[in-house]
Every structure is written in structure tokens, then in C-alpha cells.
Amino acid sequence: MKAINSSCILKAQQVVEEARKKVEHTPYRLGYHIMAPAHWINDPNGLIQWNGEYHVFYQHHPYSPKGGPIHWGHVKSKDLVRWEHLPIALAPGEEYDKSGCFSGSAVDNNGTLTLIYTGHISLNEETDEFREVQCIATSEDGIHFTKHPQNPVITEPPAGGSWHFRDPKVWKHSETWYMVLGNQMDGLGNVLLYESADLVNWEYSGILVKSDGKLGYMLECPDFIELNGKHVLLSSPQGIQPEGDLYQNLYQTGYLVGEFDYETKQFTHGEFEELDKGFDFYAVQSFEDEKGRRIVIGWMNMWESQMPEQEHGWAGALTIPRELQLHDDGKLLMKPVVELKSLRENNISVQTMIVSENVRLDEVKGDQLEIIAKFSLANTSAEKFGLKVRCSENGKEHTIVSYDVKEQKVIVDRSQSGRGEGGIRKGKIEMLHHDVITLQLFIDRSSLELFVNEGELVMTNRIYPDPASLGVELFTEGGSVKLIELEAWTLKDIWV
């Protein structure tokens, strides 16, 4: 076994530690989300509960708040809520990963924590010519990793596949390891399937999913899971064209639900569905925890985003952990994990009222808040109603979360949110709960995650308001609506 070039890790670690002091207490720094100690973060990687503790790795550039040669950052937690930074787990340095340790996953192989990742080798930066190969690294203590001497364990794409060949997600089924990989063939996105007895020797078993053009030109970060007796492929396609309110971001994240036959390796599935309809959700990854829950975390940004926090020496964050459930109608629901309730402080309840004009809720205030508001749709005369959050004193700055009664759509409007690119995203509601609409908001200093009707619709967004914009308002347009109840809490800061 070859020890990871520990000097690469130590050097990177020192740079991040130095930068960390500068990013603390800057205005957009989040209070209860996973971020790198400083500098750049993108996809969540290697999600696993190992020896009872939750580990999250992430794509990390330790030398600057912009992308660059990617390392794997690392945090762990006992409760999925309070995270502790650990040393960088993987640094590029070998011939096969010299330009970056790209996204991948983690498994427990008889007690050995094993990371499976993509080695990225840039051949020509100007023409963007590169190679991508699959590699493994192991650890006995869950902190220090050793790259395998037989790396790369998959050296090239199958015949016809391009070098867009990345993001291995590995799982075990009846004593065999399986891997899904994102790939491109003939200009279209594909998910490839591999099998192995030992994680080192891999055999190609064919194409699991092929884009027919509608699924774009590349499927990044595939993740294949069993849920409720069905099989679900999560993935992040590039190149899907916008269609009405759908597929508005540069790239998408979504899923296919179907049946998979391990004998024939055939996956028959329905149509692609977006998993989150906000501005900032990408490269989601899942894992099953010891309680049998399927938990997902996404990157809470998008490659096209402005990321104003870069001027404060950091960029990017991961979403709060969400429990994934498959509803009987074939839709995936995402709900905040229950452990997040342990962040709650200072409960405020607003009793039933008819809202017919803007109502500033004086007691509900802050930049780290959870709000659950239930509105009745019976006898509503309003055309639109909802909440304005992160409102400035004069009300000019705000982020709107509203429900359009006629269109049956929930809308997140960031056009007056402060810095950043603004814009509107909409999501249709099919009303799992008939006459009541429940809006659950997780607000952090530069983010807003919205869960509608127990996870039927989720919209994840970065916002960059003035730190002094802390107000919350109820509002309606064109009539009145009944607020059944509103509960709010301030949320603790896990990083202080």
C-alpha cells in the first residue's frame, strides 16, 4: 500500500487553517450547514455512516475560493447536525489523479473504510483534453487514507465511451459490489454498470441508462438505490433544455423510478423528474444509515452561480441532510431529517388569523430560522399569499415564498433578495394534503431551503441579503387567506 503523499495534505491543510481565521464571522458564512473550513467546496462525496458516525467528504479546493485541483475535504458527526472538520482525506498527486480527485463514494469493506473516486488527468488545459479513471483509497481509522497500489482500478471507458467517465457510486448486493458511473457516448449521457468481487478488479456489465437526447449530453453523479421495493436512479444530467418552469438551472438533478433485474441487468423506468426546483441544488448523493433511512445531501450551489462569498475567502456549502422517501404515486419526497429539531431554540407560535394585508411578525426575526406556516386553501379569496423573509426595516429588500392559487404553484422570488443573480423559480403542487398548504423554511445567513407539504416539493436557494435584513412578513395579494398556524424557532450555530 502506498501512503498518500502526506506532505501534499499537510501543505493544503496549513493553507486552509490560515484562511479559516479570515472567513469566520464574514456576513454570508452559514450557521448550520457543511462548508469547507475556508475556500472552495462542491459536490458531497463518500456519504456513509461508519462505526456509528456520519462521515461526509466533499470536493474541495483548499488553495482558493474558486475551483482548482480538487481534493476531498472531510467532516464527521455523531448526530447528522453538529459536524467536526477532519484533515483533508485525498489530495491529487499520483500520475492517475494528478489534476484532481473527482467525486465518488464510500463503502465499509469488512471494517475498512474505502473511498472510490475518479482520478482526473488534464492533458491539455486549453483544449480541455483529459482522461478520467477510477481509483480507490482505504482507511482503518476513518481519517487517514492510503491510495491502492493497483490504482487506477478502472483504466479506461468501455468501447465507444468518451473520457467523460466519472463519479463512481458503489454498493453491495448479495456479496457482489456494483458501481454506477457517469459517461458520455456519441454525445449523449449514459450511466454505466460495473461489478466486482473485491473492489479492485472490475468488470463492465453494460449500460444501465442511456439518454435519448432528452436526458442531455452527460449524466454526472449517478446513484442507484432501492426504495420501497423499487429502484431509483438519482443523477445530475447536463444539457437538458428548459421546458416551462422546469429545468431552469444550468444543470439539473433528478431521478428515474423503475424496476431493476440483477440477473438481466435491465432497468425499466419512467420519466425523469427534477428532485429540487430551487436555484441551487446539484450533485446529490445518498446513503442508508443504521436506522434504515435513505438520506441525501446535495451541493447547495450551481456551477453558474455568482457566489458573492468568494470575496470573503470561501465558496459553496452542502444542503441540510434530507430523508428520501418514495411516495405511492412514484414521486420522491425529501424531508429535513428529524435530528435538525435539536437546533431549535426560542419557539414562537402565531395563532390562527385571517391575513388580508401585509403583517410584519415582530417576534419572528433572524438569519438562522426555521418557520413552519400552515395556510388553509378553503374559502381563500387571495390570488397569491405567503411569506417574505430576510426583510429589511423598510421592506424593500426581501425574499418571497408564495403560493399562486390559480396556477397551484409555489414560487421563490429572489429579485429583491440582495446580492446575487436574483430570479424566480416555480414548482407545481399536486396537493397531497388537500385544503392545507404547509411551508417549512430553513433560513441560514445566505440560504433558504423550502419544503412544501412534507417534502412534496423542495426548493433550495442561496440568497445574499444585507445582514441587517432579518424581518418576516405574511402577505396576500387580491384577497385574504387563513393562516392556520405558524411556528418559528431560531436555530443554533453549530460552528461557534
Cα 301 from Cα 5, distance rounded (Å): 31
Per CB under 6 A, 76 contacts ligand FRU: no
Instruction: Determine, following the binding rule CB under 6 A, whether residue 283 of this chain makes contact with ligand FRU.
Output: yes
42 binds ligand FRU (CB under 6 A): yes
Closer to ligand FRU by Cβ: residue 252 or 380: 252
Paired strand residues for 173 = 176
Nearest approach in angstroms of CB 70 to ligand FRU is 5
CA-nearest of 477, 475, 474, 480 to 381 is 480
118, 399, 416, 417: residue in contact with ligand FRU (rule CB under 6 A): 118
CB 115 within 8 A of CB 46: yes
Alpha carbon of 467 to those of 301, 393, 397, 419, 491: distances in Å? Answer: 20, 12, 11, 11, 16
367 counts as binding ligand FRU under rule CB under 6 A: no
Strand residues in 197-311 grouped as ranges (E)? 202-210, 218-227, 230-238, 254-261, 266-269, 273-274, 282-288, 294-299
Binds ligand FRU (CB under 6 A): choice among 32, 41, 48, 167: 167
Question: CB of 427 within 8 A of CB of 245?
Answer: yes
Q: Contact between 70 and ligand FRU (CB under 6 A)?
A: yes
The amino acid present at 390, given as its one-letter code, is R
Beta carbon of residue 189, minimum distance to ligand FRU (angstroms, whole number): 11
CB-nearer residue toward ligand FRU: 119 or 471: 119
**Shortest separation between residue 32's beta carbon and ligand FRU, angstroms:** 23
Which helix H or strand E contains 10, and what residues bound it? helix 6-23
Residues 43, 97, 280, 444: which is the catalytic one?
43
Dist. CA 474–CA 389, nearest whole Å: 9
Strands of 51-185 (E only): list them.
Answer: 53-61, 71-77, 83-90, 100-109, 112-124, 129-139, 146-147, 161-173, 176-185
Please say which residue, 97 or 220, places its beta carbon nearer to ligand FRU. Answer: 220
Instruction: Tell me the closest approach of the beta carbon of residue 106 to ligand FRU, in angstroms.
Output: 15
Q: Which three cell numbers stand for residue 51?
A: 462505526
Quick one: which of 239, 129, 121 has its CA closest to 189?
A: 239
Answer yes or no: 493 catalytic.
Answer: no
* Smallest separation, CB 391 to ligand FRU (Å): 33
- Contact flag: residue 416 with ligand FRU (CB under 6 A): no
Pick between residue 151 and residue 440 the one whose CB is nearest to ligand FRU.
151
- Check binding of 165 to ligand FRU (CB under 6 A): no
Q: Which of residues 429-488 bind ligand FRU (CB under 6 A)?
A: none
Closest distance between ligand FRU and the C-beta of residue 69, in Å? Answer: 10
Within residues 187-246, the interface with ligand FRU by CB under 6 A covers 220-221
What is the rounded CA–CA span in Å between residue 197 and residue 177?
6
- The residue count of the chain comes to 496
Among 12, 16, 43, 133, binds ligand FRU (CB under 6 A): 43
Q: Does 59 bind ligand FRU (CB under 6 A)?
A: yes
Q: Could you write out the DSSP letters of every residue in 56-87?
A: EEEEEETT-SS--SBEEEEEEESSSSSEEEEE
The size of the interface with ligand FRU (CB under 6 A), counted in residues, is 13
Tell me whether residue 118 or residue 446 sits nearer to ligand FRU (CB atom).
118
Report the residue number, 59 or 402, with the smaller CB distance to ligand FRU.
Answer: 59
Nearer to ligand FRU by Cβ, of 301 and 490: the residue is 301
* DSSP 3-state of 472: strand
Secondary structure (DSSP) of 342-387: GGEEEEEEE--EEE-S-EEEEEEE-SSEEEEEEEE-TT---SEEEE
Give me the least distance between CB of 439 and ligand FRU, in Å please: 29
Interface of this chain with ligand FRU, residues 85 to 104, rule: CB under 6 A: 102-103
Q: Does residue 319 interact with ligand FRU by CB under 6 A?
A: no
Residue 350 C-beta: closest distance to ligand FRU, Å: 40
Enumerate residues 6+ apart whose C-beta is below 8 A from 4. Answer: 90, 91, 93, 137, 144, 145, 146, 147
The SS3 call for residue 394 is coil
Q: How far apart are CA 117 and CA 143, in angstroms?
A: 16
Q: Are 122 and 132 in contact (CB under 8 A)?
A: no
Q: Is the dihedral of CA 26, 27, 32, 33 positive or negative?
A: negative
Of 191 and 283, nearer to ligand FRU (C-beta) is: 283
Closest CA to 285 of 321, 252, 259, 339: 321
- To ligand FRU, the closest distance from the beta carbon of 293 in angstroms equals 24
Give me the least distance between CB of 369 and ligand FRU, in Å please: 29
What stretch of H or E contains 6? Answer: helix 6-23
Of 32 and 102, nearer to ligand FRU (C-beta) is: 102
Instruction: Give the nearer residue to ligand FRU in terms of CB position, either 70 or 185.
Output: 70
User: Footprint of ligand FRU on this chain (CB under 6 A)?
Assistant: 42-43, 59, 70, 102-103, 118, 166-167, 220-221, 282-283
Active site residues: 43
